[in-house]
Structure 1
Amino acid sequence: MKLLNTYDDRDEAEAAAEKLSGEKRLASERDATVVIYNLFGIPSWGNFHRLDMYNLGELKNMLDKRNTWQPGEQARHAEILATLKTVAKNYAIEIPAHWQ
């Protein structure tokens, strides 16, 4: 398990934890008067999508219309992929070929 996200609100953190599949753990951390909630889980594209992270929902919608992309959409796709390449490297997961 790895740290997937942090939250300032307990309810939001618990709701996010419910969305994950596989092993998960929610841990609170206090710094002075501030409490943050660390969400640990299995780093997978499915879990990141369920948490609405890294523009994966937008990417899915874009790929459904890939044949009609305009230059702006191609540029946005390249931006999202650049982010995903960093995420993939950090979590040692591969980007599916059909996303590229």
Structure 2
Amino acid sequence: MKLLNTYEDRDEAEKAESLITGEKRLASERDGTETIYNLFGEATWGNLYKLSMFNLPELQKLVELKNKNLPYDQSRYKEIISMLRYAAKTFELKIPDHWL
């Protein structure tokens, strides 16, 4: 399990935990008077998508347009792919070829 995301709101953290699949755990920690919630789980593209991380829902729309040979925001697409390269290294994932 890896740290997937951190939340300041307990309800938001519990909702995120309910969205992902596989082994998962929500841990809280106090920093002075504030409590933060760390969501641990399996680092998969599916789980990251369900958490709306790394603009994956937006990438899905851009890839659909690209595959249909329709106009799409190429600079935004490149920006998201660049961010995904970082995420892939961080979470030890491979970016699916059909996204590239």
TM range (shorter): over 0.9
1: CA distance, partners of 2:71 / 2:97:
18
- Partner of 1:40, secondary structure, is strand
2: CA distance, partners of 1:80 / 1:87:
10
Which runs of no fewer than 5 residues in structure 2 stay unpaired? none
TM-score normalised over the length of structure 2: 0.95
Q: CA deviation at 1:4?
A: 0.2
Which amino acid letter does the alignment assign opposite residue 32 of structure 1? G
Count of residues paired in the alignment:
98
2: CA distance, partners of 1:17 / 1:78:
30
Q: CA deviation at 1:43?
A: 0.4
Which amino acid letter does the alignment assign opposite residue 41 of structure 1? G
* C-alpha RMSD of the superposition: 0.7
Q: CA deviation at 1:68?
A: 1.5
1:40 aligns with 2:26: no
Which runs of no fewer than 5 residues in structure 1 stay unpaired? none
1:20-56 superposed Cα distances (whole Å, 9 cap, x missing partner) = 0000000000011000000000001000000011100
1:99 aligns with 2:93: no
Which amino acid letter does the alignment assign opposite residue 51 of structure 2? L
Equivalent residue for 2:70?
Answer: 68
TM-score normalised over the length of structure 1: 0.95
Equivalent residue for 2:19?
Answer: 19
Q: CA deviation at 1:80?
A: 0.2
Q: CA deviation at 1:69?
A: 2.6
**Superposition misfits of 4+ residues, deviation over 3 angstroms:** none
Which amino acid letter does the alignment assign opposite residue 65 of structure 1? L
1: CA distance, partners of 2:75 / 2:31:
40
* Identical-pair percentage: 53
